[in-house]
Structure 1
Amino acid sequence: MSKAHQTLHRELTRKKGGSHRKIRNILHELEGLESLLEKFSAQPRRADRSNDPALDVAIARQQSRMLAIRDKGEVYWNAELDSNAGLGAEYIMMLHFLGIAGQPEWAERQRKVANYTRQWQNKDGSWSIYARGPGHLSYSVTCYFGLKLAGDSSDAPHMVKARDWIRAHGGAMLIGVEQRFLLALFGQYDWAGVPPIPSWMVLLPHLPMLPRALENKLLNIYDLSYWCRISLVPMSVLYQLKPLVRIDERLGVEELFLEPKGERRWSFAPVSEPGLMSWGGLFSVGAKAVKALEFATNGVVAKVALNKAQKWILDHQDDSGDWGGIYPPIMYNIMALSRLGMPLSDARILKAFKALDRFMIYHAHCDGLHVQACVSPVWDTAWALYALGESGFDTRDTEFQRGIDWLYSRQILRDGDWAVKNPDAIPGGWCFQFYNDFYPDLDDTAVVLQALLFGGYPKGLGGRVEQTRIGLEWVLSMQNQDGGWSAFECGVDKALVNHIPFNDLNNMLDPSTADVTGHVLEMLGHFGFDLSFAPCRRAAEYLRKNQDREGARAGSWWGRWGVNYVYGTWSALAGLAQVGEDMSKPYVRKAVAWLYSVQNEDGGWGEGCETYKEPERAGREISGQSTPSQTAWALLGLLAAGEVDDSRLRRGVAWLLNRQLPQGGWEEELYTGTGFPNAFYLNYHFYREYFPLLALGRYRNAKCGLKPI
């Protein structure tokens, strides 16, 4: 920990520490941390050989590959992250919105982004949101419009196919709310069909003369998940201003509408429960009232709200130029600031453009630029180091220790938005990306902390113990009332949010989830906590209560951040086992039986993104394909439950061994990462690298009688 970080942390501790019973209890539990970590002064004992030569060779090969696949000269891992081509189309829209698409530098970027966008078009003319998935109407319209702005003729064969597919699937009237919003900025969709995003929402809950008791009842931006909040504030600015970017008629998307222009009924439907006395109905009526009264809020209220929104935006920009560490809010915040009068030459906007550069990956095969949704260096590095350590790699190795030091350097020691609902907690988490200081997350922090154990705590490196303590304190302070852990913030789980008309994707909450809770439990178990520790008991009870009991998924757990029930079930079982749950209990055995029930004939496991929409397919991929990452997850879950000698588990191990490539690694085309269920999926290029290594390493340890550290 640097001296500057030490000073900052001491000041925060002075202001907050000792004033909160929850924090005092956590500090008491961690009093023995130094003695607990003494056993990690040397490398934890892991098996580096077995009586199975094929297993040993595969592990050694993959360990070597892990060191080779880092970016040249770097000590961290940072894989390419596929999502969908819609982000590139939105990037093109941003260039035209800002009026810079014709400038040589930006025109060249537009050309390359368009090249990459075309590469992702399906044979039927549509674009999908995951590999081999069905065409997606909203993103197909987005890609079509982006390509038209980039200069593609509507008569080009690929555009004709896209247009025909879009019209055959209902046309542009039926696109999602965010796509309506973007098209409205260019006059291609009427604002009457866009649910309101009032700029005055940033004034809540602290309106003058509002009783504090009522403040707590009202919804405000801190009741929305961070990934929505960081975009909705700038979107509210744009909604209030409703700028119109005039484009040549030939660049528009009039041909994508089935209805003649004068016959379109612009409206937005409630998300759910259409009855007037339902929450959905009441929110719909309220939204319509907001629209009807927009003229009344265009004066003093709007000016105050816009000023506060601008301040909020600028206050939430990282020093690196990022907002939230993900692409959409960076785009929206640049667009909003430009319409609030900030020149594009302003240092803050220039930093934001630099941040977007980190999201770009060039692909020579198509001379294209891939616009990534985000980058994942902390997540990738933590899992890579953990897999190396668990598989018997010499953690005293200089390269390994450099990776550990890099993780320590990424700890976030400042308050973020999480402190709004958890004001007494001391910061100490890690984020997913290079930069996202306002939004560290529990999943990354848990995986980082368990990876750091393999770095050791030798004498003379006392700072490692202190940083570990800080991280553990922060995690424990973030437990939700239901016993589980959310991804980013605690208490962002008001069900009312699901009925906001703008929430058509149902992704505005950040509740407890089985996968994050399982990862946190597993980490706590590594540090010696068990079910005698109240937070662990509460979390285990949360998992037990939230195990699925219906149909084809009975016995499994739903996966929020990975596809899907296989991911959630592994995470829950691993966490429960590590804190000492009796793995012979009936509910655990149901989970084990479920994993075996969805094993493919080839011995592996595979589950498709479609299972979020069709849970009756839980644990299966529509074509029956197995994947390396999901096979690894299933094996890890089964190993946690003590299934090391079962022949079905050995078939899964054989599946991995038989499909490893000669140079190491595995092939994996299917998406196994989840951004937003039913809406946004991710293909982590390194999932196929470190999760199989972790599973094989843990299998070898189990065969040699070694439990997880």
Structure 2
Amino acid sequence: MNESDVVEQAVDAAHGALQAMQKADGHWVFELEADATIPAEYVLLEHFLDRINPELERKMGAYLRRIQGAHGGWPLYEDGDFDLSASVKAYFALKALGDDPEAPHMRRARTEILRHGGAERANVFTRIQLALYGEVPWDAVPVMPPEIMLLPSAGFFSVWNMAYWSRTVIAPLLVLCDLRPIAVNPRGVHVQELFCTPPAQIKDWIRGPYRSWWGPVFKGLDSALRPMVRHFPRKLHKKAMRACLRFIAPRLSDGGLGAIYPAMANVVMMMRALGVPDSDPRAKQAWQALQDLMVDRGHEAYCQPCVSPVWDTGLAGLAMLEASDGPRATLPEATRRQLASTAAWLRSQQILDVVGDWAVNAPGLRPGGWAFQYDNAYYPDVDDTAVVGMFLHRQDPVENAEAIARAREWIIGMQSRDGGWGAFDIDNDLDVLNHIPFADHGALLDPPTADVTARCVSFLAQLGHAEDKPAIERALAWLRKEQERSGSWFGRWGTNYIYGTWSVLCAFNAAGVPPEDPAVQKAVAWLERVQRPDGGWGEDCASYEGAPEGVYEESLPSQTAWALLALMAAGRHGTKAVERGVAWLAAQQDGEGRWHEKPFNAVGFPKVFYLRYHGYKQFFPLLALARYRNLEDSNTGRVEHGF
């Protein structure tokens, strides 16, 4: 069988496999997995409330034990290094489930936790979890008075200067930190053995390492503010607490507050602390939203950080369209109907009547975006919107014209002053806030990033409106400034430099930047340099932590697909590097038309929180192989679409 036949066979098999995964109403949704932190927090939430589901917890225990690292603790991603905060939470959860502290896996975990400084050195969110159980005093937590909810957007510490995920997590957390409830903890589980120094003897909970000189400045401010908080006027304090609740109430939905686990869990605990009975409709809705995050595999279970149906559907739809395109492809009537239903489902998810938090910095802009999840109307994001817009434009630009027009209007209005795009907010770049004690994760903000900016350029360029050229040119100038010395681009939302470079090269191609451009040539040279001997590409999440860019111990389907799509966008489809990558990708496909990979492939917050999108290994290889086939058959050899 020649190469052409091999690729065609792989495309057909992958197309059929992905089509079989589609839901009846036209959308796709795949598992979204994180590290031990979220399932461990969920176990502790059940014990905080005394709403224990023994069968679910038995399966979560099996999951947590399986993903324990060889080093004895828990990593943030597959085969990652020991992480103190994740390990403290996982140990605490397993002990709550009934694991004997003297069992070998618990002893190993405890030894490593103590060797790394003990639970007292865990991050802020872990110390808050410990405070809710009475394991540490509330002095272990940075001062976060609810009065900050009263600050206008012009206020330095205003929540409106923080990212969407920060606002939704903080609002109920401010109430919790003020009320200071203690977990029911029906089994009386404690983890004092995880501390190198008894918590009552610790005088200084907030200490470096600091990321800049702002760290000790804000630490001093925290120390000065701490004794003052109790003297704030009572009337002002009550007003602030009401402001927290006023913020939360309209944003509650079947998807939960912000549709992300930490905010959703904080709301459930907040309601309990406020005395809201579990039978209250609001409490029932908030609890059900958490249950909807569960993945039950029969022998084990875990809790997702959120769900990704809109993102999965846009990307899977683009892969299906590519596979159905080109001279050798025929679009079966069944596929045509399914993709029409996909477009209809996506149109039904567009947010047209809710003015979300983004409007604080973009007043007067009409809504028109898509959220990542099923139900998160206050928080659409431009990355999803650009991907969905490109799919709708390719699927049927006439039928989808109104949805595309509204998406275009919203994306243009969300461009930041520097020419780039953040994910959820505009001009959300007050970097100094990342140095306050509460933000020890360094991810309080949502500034413009190369991957999101590139996606917006790809969408606007694919539409081809002449009046959008100034916005595109500003974005291209911003992207050029962001190119790394190596020639790559940083991938904020996908692992990592391969993802970022793929995103930008697609945007450059869509915007008409020629392959001869020095920035393109430099990126191509980097991609070809990091290609693995077997023909594939791979990158370790450790690249977010200082490891070499674009390097891993094995080739991965999703990363190889990104590299191939990048090179083809740069006009390199006929090169040896691309041919070798295509051969590797086709050879890795199983007999059912699927690919497999274990390593994590995305990031929530670099150095803090990583993700495994289970759909990436299915739709990106299909997109890459179908693109290669179509370019081989093309008269121009040029990628004609933004993505």
Taking structure 2 as the reference length, the TM-score comes to: 0.94
CA distance in structure 1 between the aligned counterparts of 2:154 and 2:602, rounded to whole angstroms: 35
Percent identical among aligned pairs is 39
User: Residue 344 of structure 1 corresponds to which residue in structure 2?
Assistant: 278
Q: In the TM superposition, what whole-angstrom CA distance separates every residue of 1:540-592 from its partner, at most 9, and x where no partner exists?
A: 0000011112xxxx111000000000000010110011011122111211111
User: Residue 85 of structure 1 corresponds to which residue in structure 2?
Assistant: 36
CA positional deviation for 1:666: 0.9
Confirm or deny: 8 A CA contact 2:137 2:200 kept in the other structure.
Answer: no
CA distance in structure 2 between the aligned counterparts of 1:343 and 1:112, rounded to whole angstroms: 28
CA distance in structure 2 between the aligned counterparts of 1:174 and 1:145, rounded to whole angstroms: 15
SS of match in other structure, 2:296: strand
CA positional deviation for 1:248: 7.5
User: Residue 489 of structure 2 corresponds to which residue in structure 1?
Assistant: 557
Stretch deviating more after TM superposition (393-402 or 428-437): 393-402
CA distance in structure 2 between the aligned counterparts of 1:298 and 1:140, rounded to whole angstroms: 40
Q: Say which of 211, 219, 223 aligns to 1:288.
A: 223
CA positional deviation for 1:116: 2.3
User: Residue 132 of structure 1 corresponds to which residue in structure 2?
Assistant: 79
CA distance in structure 1 between the aligned counterparts of 2:562 and 2:257, rounded to whole angstroms: 32
User: Residue 46 of structure 1 corresponds to which residue in structure 2?
Assistant: none
User: Residue 442 of structure 1 corresponds to which residue in structure 2?
Assistant: 382
SS of match in other structure, 2:433: helix
Q: Say which of 428, 431, 446 aligns to 2:368.
A: 428
Confirm or deny: 8 A CA contact 1:192 1:267 kept in the other structure.
Answer: yes
CA positional deviation for 1:120: 1.7
User: Is the aligned partner of 1:354 residue 2:313?
Assistant: no
Q: Say which of 330, 343, 346 aligns to 1:407.
A: 346
CA distance in structure 2 between the aligned counterparts of 1:289 and 1:678, rounded to whole angstroms: 30
After superposition, residues 85-164 of structure 1 pair within 5 angstroms as 85-101=36-52, 106-164=53-111
CA distance in structure 1 between the aligned counterparts of 2:494 and 2:404, rounded to whole angstroms: 26
Say how many residue pairs are matched: 629
CA positional deviation for 1:334: 1.2
Q: Say which of 69, 89, 97 aligns to 2:21.
A: 69
Confirm or deny: 8 A CA contact 2:255 2:376 kept in the other structure.
Answer: no
Q: Say which of 192, 200, 203 aligns to 2:147.
A: 200
Confirm or deny: 8 A CA contact 2:50 2:184 kept in the other structure.
Answer: no
CA distance in structure 2 between the aligned counterparts of 1:232 and 1:87, rounded to whole angstroms: 17
Q: Say which of 674, 679, 686 aligns to 2:608.
A: 679
Stretch deviating more after TM superposition (435-444 or 92-101): 92-101
CA distance in structure 2 between the aligned counterparts of 1:314 and 1:504, rounded to whole angstroms: 28
Q: Say which of 546, 549, 569 aligns to 1:618.
A: 549
After superposition, residues 611-690 of structure 1 pair within 5 angstroms as 611-615=543-547, 617-621=548-552, 624-690=553-619
Q: Which contiguous aligned blocks of 4+ residues in structure 1 show a shift greater than 4 angstroms?
A: 246-250, 529-532
SS of match in other structure, 2:249: helix
Q: Say which of 545, 549, 574 aligns to 2:506.
A: 574
Q: In the TM superposition, what whole-angstrom CA distance separates every residue of 1:272-319 from its partner, at most 9, and x where no partner exists?
A: 366xxx43232211111221212213733322211211121112212x
Change (3 A) 1:574 1:170: same
After superposition, residues 116-515 of structure 1 pair within 5 angstroms as 116-205=63-152, 216=154, 218-245=156-183, 247=185, 251-260=189-198, 263-269=201-207, 272=210, 278-297=213-232, 299-318=234-253, 320-364=254-298, 366=299, 368-392=300-324, 394=331, 397-413=336-352, 414-458=354-398, 461=399, 464-515=400-451
CA positional deviation for 1:262: 5.2
Confirm or deny: 8 A CA contact 1:187 1:246 kept in the other structure.
Answer: no
Confirm or deny: 8 A CA contact 1:530 1:579 kept in the other structure.
Answer: no
CA distance in structure 2 between the aligned counterparts of 1:431 and 1:532, rounded to whole angstroms: 23
Q: In the TM superposition, what whole-angstrom CA distance separates every residue of 1:133-184 from its partner, at most 9, and x where no partner exists?
A: 1121111100111112222221223212211221222211111110001101
Stretch deviating more after TM superposition (334-343 or 504-513): 334-343
Confirm or deny: 8 A CA contact 1:131 1:669 kept in the other structure.
Answer: yes
Q: Say which of 534, 550, 553 aligns to 1:602.
A: 534
Equivalent AA in structure 1 for residue 472 of structure 2: C
Unaligned ranges ≥5, structure 2: 326-330
User: Residue 699 of structure 1 corresponds to which residue in structure 2?
Assistant: 628
Stretch deviating more after TM superposition (387-396 or 326-335): 387-396
CA distance in structure 2 between the aligned counterparts of 1:659 and 1:115, rounded to whole angstroms: 30
Q: Say which of 588, 591, 615 aligns to 2:523.
A: 591
CA positional deviation for 1:240: 1.1
Equivalent AA in structure 1 for residue 272 of structure 2: S
Confirm or deny: 8 A CA contact 1:378 1:434 kept in the other structure.
Answer: yes
CA positional deviation for 1:674: 1.1
SS of match in other structure, 1:432: coil
Taking only aligned residues, the RMSD between alpha carbons, in angstroms, comes to 1.9
Confirm or deny: 8 A CA contact 1:531 1:579 kept in the other structure.
Answer: no
CA distance in structure 1 between the aligned counterparts of 2:200 and 2:396, rounded to whole angstroms: 70
User: Is the aligned partner of 1:518 residue 2:454?
Assistant: yes
CA positional deviation for 1:122: 2.2
Change (3 A) 1:109 1:168: same
CA distance in structure 1 between the aligned counterparts of 2:179 and 2:146, rounded to whole angstroms: 9
Q: In the TM superposition, what whole-angstrom CA distance separates every residue of 1:500-526 from its partner, at most 9, and x where no partner exists?
A: 111111101101100011111111121
Q: In the TM superposition, what whole-angstrom CA distance separates every residue of 1:11-40 from its partner, at most 9, and x where no partner exists?
A: xxxxxxxxxxxxxxxxxxxxxxxxxxxxxx
Change (3 A) 1:541 1:80: same
Equivalent AA in structure 2 for residue 328 of structure 1: P
Equivalent AA in structure 1 for residue 580 of structure 2: R
CA positional deviation for 1:246: 5.9
